[in-house]
Structure 1
Amino acid sequence: MKQKPPHTVEALQSEAFMEHAIEHHRGAVLRLALARTHSATDAQDIAQDVFIKLLRSATRFHDDDHLRAWLLRATHDSCIDLHRQAWRRRVETHEDMAAVADRET
Structure 2
Amino acid sequence: MYETYKNLVYRISVIYLGNTFDAEDLVQNVFVSYYKRLPKFESQEHARNWFARVTVNMCINFRKSYWRRFVDKADEIDVPEDMNVERIEILDILSVLPDKSRLIMLLYYYEQYTVGDIAGMMNMSESAIKMQLKRSREKLKEVLGDE
Counterpart in 2 of 1:71? Answer: 51
TM-score, normalised via structure 1 length: 0.61
Task: Please report how far the alpha carbon of residue 65 of structure 1 lies from its aligned counterpart in structure 2 after TM superposition.
Answer: 1.1
**Equivalent of 1:83 in 63, 72, 76:** 63
Alignment of 1:1-105 (within 5 A): 21-86=1-66, 89-90=69-70
Gaps of 5+ in 2: 71-147
TM-score, normalised via structure 2 length: 0.44
**For 1:38 and 1:86, how far apart are their aligned partners in 2?**
18
Task: Please report how far the alpha carbon of residue 59 of structure 1 lies from its aligned counterpart in structure 2 after TM superposition.
Answer: 2.2
Aligned pair count reads 70
Gaps of 5+ in 1: 1-20, 91-105
Which of the two has higher C-alpha Rg? 1
Percentage of pairs with the same residue = 29
**For 1:81 and 1:34, how far apart are their aligned partners in 2?**
15
Structure with the greater relative contact order (CA < 8 A, sep ≥ 6): 1 or 2?
Answer: 1
**For 2:60 and 2:5, how far apart are their aligned partners in 1?**
20
